[in-house]
Structure formats: C-alpha cells, structure tokens
Amino acid sequence: MKRAVWFITLIVVLGCGGQLQQLALETMENAQVALTSANAMGAQEAADTPLRTAQEMLVTAENAMSAGDVEQAYRLALRSYLHARIATEIAIAIREEANVQEVQAQLTLTQQNVDEVLQRLEAMKVELEALKKF
C-alpha cells in the first residue's frame, strides 16, 4: 500500500512539474512578446526603469530555467511580463497626455481667435450704430 501511494505521489509530482515547465516556457514567450510591444510603443524613452527591469527579469528567468529551477523561472517570467505591460501602459499614458496637451493648446488658440472675432463684431456694431445716427 505504501508503495502504491508513493508511486501515485511520484506520478502527480512529475506530471505537475511538466505542466509547470510548459507554463514557464509560455510565460517567458509572453514576456518576450510584451517586451517587443513595449519597445514598439516607445517605452524605452517613456518608462525606462520598468522596461529595463522586465528585460533583466526575463534574462534571469531564462537562466533559472537553464539551471532547472522551473518554479523560479515561471515567477520571474511572470514578473517580467507584468513589468513589460506596465512599461507599455506608461508609454501609452505619456503619449495620450501629450496629445491632450496639444489639443488643449489648439483649443486655447481657437478660443483666442473666437474672442478676437467677437471683439471685431462688437466694434462693427458700434460703428454701425454710429452710422445709423447720421
């Protein structure tokens, strides 16, 4: 009976280990894709620290996988993925904030133009009223 329990436990442990290894590999691939996406979004200028951290963690995850520490590789790959996503979102937020500032500047300029036109219109009304009195 002890041998049967031990054998079943061994099979479960080995089966889960293979699944964890596959999960770690997939997570490392996802982290690499997220890093590529972050670079494409301009995160290297906007969010240097999270991007650099993500790159370093991915390298460390690959080293852990090579050393046979699958659990550590999975954890580092997941953190790498998350840091790359953070870098991407920071880059997007910075770009959108710049767009908002540009639109606000255009709105301010348009408002100034409208104010100038309204002032000219008022001046024309005053002149028209003056001409009507003659």
pLDDT of residue 4: 46
Q: Mark out the alpha helices in the chain (DSSP H runs).
A: 2-40, 43-46, 48-66, 70-133
Residue with tokens 């000219």: 120
pLDDT of residue 3: 52
Two structure tokens written together for 48: 């240097």
- Alpha-carbon distance values, 19 to 24, 31, 36, 40 (Å): 9, 18, 26, 31
Question: Going by C-beta distance under 8 Å and a sequence separation of 6 or more, which residues neighbour residue 94?
Answer: 46, 47
Q: What is the pLDDT along the chain (134 residues), one digit of tens a residue?
A: 545 444 444 444 445 557 999 999 999 999 999 999 998 888 877 666 888 999 999 999 999 999 999 999 999 999 999 999 999 999 999 999 999 999 999 999 999 999 999 999 999 999 999 888 87
Report helix, strand or coil for 41: coil
Two structure tokens written together for 84: 């790359």
pLDDT of residue 45: 77
Question: Long-range contacts of range 5-11, CB-CB < 8 Å, 24 or more positions apart?
Answer: none
pLDDT of residue 11: 46
Q: How far apart are CA 101 and CA 82, in angstroms?
A: 28
**pTM for the model:** 0.68
pLDDT of residue 71: 96
